[in-house]
Amino acid sequence: MKFKYKARTKEGELQAGYVEAINRNTALDILQGHSLYILSLAEVRVPKFYASMLNFMQRAKRVDLVIFTRQFSAMLKADLPLDEALKGLYLQSKNPTLKEAIFEMWSDVDAGLSLSQALEKHSAIFSEFYINLVRSAEVTGRIDEVMEFLADYLEKEMALIAKVRNALIYPAFVLGLFLVVAGILVGVVFPQLSPIFAESNVQLPFFTQILLDVGNFIAAWWLGVIIAVAILLVIVADYLRSQEGRMVYGQLIIRAPVFGDLFKKVYISRFSEGLSILIKGGIPVAQAIEISGHTIDNVIYREVIHDLAEKVRSGRLVSEAIETNEKYFPVLVGQMVAVGEKTGKLDEMLDRVAIFYTREVNDLVANLVELIQPTLMVVMGVLVGVLFASVLLPIYNLIQSF
């Protein structure tokens, strides 16, 4: 939810802007945590569907965030003052959502707020991991180094996503083209042939009969089919946005053949790298574990990592907590973390875990890319063969009957 606020600082300066929060009380807590005296706070209400479309169209894309972070790092390394760096980024930014956020951050920093406090008002753009990393850097005075790390981290994440996406573009295009051709045959061609086969009393193959029945149904009820599919998609999309839907989707992702193993390794790599950098920044281990969970977009893993944090708060070692979740964290992770705890080099050992699983992910993605095209060709060959056999066999039988 988005709230518009007006407030005064301790010095009496008037501030106005927007803050993202799950409810009004949370928005109040965020603003009061920045030592602001609230004058007004109102929810920005827009229709739910329109809000979803607006957020999708105007969202700050990953590439925009990477460019912002990389440029911010370069400016800070050049010893530019924080407000001057934000001013420069505001002038250069092209994305309207990010541009507005940078302007508000610039105003907040100029009014005396810390960078992490300014970032926290825009949690829809900057993740909790991003904000807490900056907060830890403010304590150590290494903001430029942390921004450089965040830029590298986001670039690696974007590169991996792009690699997987590019590997799926060709298969998706070919499959989509096949479905279009199959739809035309089933919905247009087969209903035209149906009376001919009926008059000739030709014995139809099983697949041909199925396709004829489907084609006749679609030809008679095509509008109802379109409406039913649209309603089904809306219901499924709404369900996947619910807590139960996200849990089901998370389970399906990690249990999927081949891809489940890939996603598990991606999650472990992100978690380990995030936890390592947060520990280096001086954040308590339990809190660092909790924050690292927010680098993962799978609800199941977030719940597991939250459970890890609670066990560490209760006095258990990180390695012991991880070893109780072998279903989600391989034995190797727990063993390497245990070595890190014994030697007092937990952050370094987590770095090694992240490097190991990043390499595993890259190798697995490369293998998948190599296997996708030949596998697709075989599958498409079988489907095309079945489709055309369903058309040609009854025609051949019809010719034979004369």
Mean residue pLDDT across the chain: 81
Quick check: is 252 in a domain?
yes
Quick check: is 87 in a domain?
no
Quick check: is 116 in a domain?
no
187 in the same domain as 41: no
Quick check: is 13 in a domain?
yes
Interval 11-33: pLDDT, tens: 777 777 767 776 777 777 777 77
Interval 184-241: pLDDT, tens: 777 777 777 777 777 777 677 777 778 778 777 877 888 888 899 999 999 998 888 8
Residue 22 sits in which domain range?
1-45
Quick check: is 125 in a domain?
no
Interval 333-386: pLDDT, tens: 999 999 999 998 898 999 999 999 988 888 888 887 778 778 877 888 888 888
Q: Which residues contact 283 (CB under 8 A, 6 or more apart)?
A: 132, 136, 291
What is the sign of the dihedral through the CA atoms of 24, 25, 30 and 34?
positive
Quick check: is 196 in a domain?
yes
Total domains, the chain: 2
Q: How confident is the model at residue 57 (pLDDT cuts 50, 70, 90)?
A: very low
Q: Which residues contact 187 (CB under 8 A, 6 or more apart)?
A: 215, 218, 219, 222
Q: What is the CATH number of the domain that holds 183?
A: 1.20.81.30
* Alpha-carbon distance values, 355 to 83, 111, 280, 290 (Å): 35, 41, 16, 21
Rg (the chain; Cα; Å): 28
